[in-house]
Structure 1
Amino acid sequence: MIRTLLALDGALIRGALALVLAAEHDIRVVAEVDRGDDLDRALWTRLPDVAVVDADLIAGDTVAGAGPCPLLVLADPRRPRGLYDLLCARRAVGVLGNDVPPQRVVDGVRRLAKGEPLVDADLVVAALGSTGPLTGRETDVLDLAATGSPVNEIARRLSLSPGTVRNHLGRIKRKTGARTRIEAVRVAQNAGWI
């Protein structure tokens, strides 16, 4: 039995994938989380054989380099940033687009449980070509700013001080040539950096 943890944002998608995996005779979902800060604790308390993780939940997080099991990372093919660092940081990682058919995820869980590699070649090519002027932390800050999160919320979610977030936003605006946070988000999205 392959003990599987699901760490996906969005109850509908997470629930649907849990049903698909539970229908398999050799896979059991042992935990579900929807926040990155719950992921590390769940990995160490539930001790799954494989974790299926939304790339956005681990961006800039310490779980990218740690954890007791292989990660099957589901990433947006249009936003491959951070995948290169993730692939370099972990030996036990598989990467698929978040738009793949459910059966590919099922097969991916089985392959990672056996210790076999699993990488979507198109995502790797996109990740290698997604370099930009922003650091990983600046990208994390801008990702949250793009959702409309205020400085204090960004600081809380990234475990930073509000002053540090404001400093990051200032550097981001300079690097993107933007006058406002909204303009910086638009520039970074058009360039594929976030």
Structure 2
Amino acid sequence: MTTLLIADDQTMVREALAALLGMESDFEVVAQCARGDEVLPAISKTRPDVALLDVDMPEPDGLSVAATLHKEFPRVKVIIVTTYGRPGWVKRALDAGVSGFMVKDAPVDHLADGIRRVMSGMSVIDPELVVESTMHGSSPLTARETDVLRTAADGASVDEVAATLHLSTGTVRNRLSSAIGKTNARNRADAARIAEENGWL
């Protein structure tokens, strides 16, 4: 019996996935979470074999949770299940140690087969996402530029970004300027939008 945790902030989607996967004779859904910060405590308590995580969850997002899970619970296999796959998300997911990356509009038997394949030691990534990710390439931003742009994306001022990241305002301005240039953006809001659309943030 393969035990599953499902984390998705959309209640109807989460419960539908749990009901459909629960109908499979070799699966048991042992936990459901609506937020990223609920996942680690639930995994610690229920010890599932596989965690199905949505990317776009509140506090923190699914990719951040996946990276933490890989470090703290390496035995738990992680499959990202999302409504849409942005090109940069596949690379971030693989860097975070996930075993699979699938889209929600796939048939449930496709997801069930993916879970079984992951449990047998294979990786499962939606082929269309692989092609799209390859076409768009990886992020042109450095890790430091990404941190600054991510922090500034919500409209924080240069001073606020500097204080949050413990950097000088000059360093923040330089990294924002570099990010704007690398994304061919008009300004930092445009750079953040472009980076977000490509899954680089």
TM-score w.r.t. the length of structure 1 is 0.72
Residues 71 and 93 in structure 1, CA contact (< 8 A), matched pair in contact too? yes
Aligned with 2:179 (options 152, 175, 178): 175
* 1:126 match: 132
Q: CA deviation at 1:118?
A: 1.9
Q: How many Å separate the matches in 2 of 1:87 and 1:120?
A: 13
Residues 134 and 172 in structure 1, CA contact (< 8 A), matched pair in contact too? no
* 1:164 match: 165
Structure 2's unaligned 5+ residue stretches are: none
Q: How many Å separate the matches in 1 of 2:107 and 2:6?
A: 16
Higher Cα Rg, which structure:
2
Structure 1's unaligned 5+ residue stretches are: none
After the TM superposition, which residues 17-96 of structure 1 pair with which residues of structure 2 at under 5 Å, given as runs? 17-56=17-56, 57-61=61-65, 62-63=67-68, 65-66=70-71, 67=73, 68-75=75-82, 77-90=84-97, 93-96=99-102
Q: How many Å separate the matches in 1 of 2:113 and 2:152?
A: 35
Equivalenced residues, count:
185
Identity over the aligned pairs, expressed in percent?
Answer: 33
Residues 86 and 198 in structure 2, CA contact (< 8 A), matched pair in contact too? no
C-alpha distance after superposition, 1:49-105 (max 9, x if no partner)? 111111343324432533231111124554131422432453x61221233222211
Q: Could you tell me which amino acid in structure 2 is paired with residue 3 of structure 1?
A: T
Residues 70 and 76 in structure 2, CA contact (< 8 A), matched pair in contact too? no
Q: Could you tell me which amino acid in structure 2 is paired with residue 164 of structure 1?
A: L
Residues 59 and 140 in structure 1, CA contact (< 8 A), matched pair in contact too? no
Residues 77 and 126 in structure 1, CA contact (< 8 A), matched pair in contact too? no
Q: Report the CA distance shift for 1:117/1:11 in structure 2 as closer, same or farther (over 3 A).
A: same
Q: Could you tell me which amino acid in structure 1 is paired with residue 43 of structure 2?
A: L
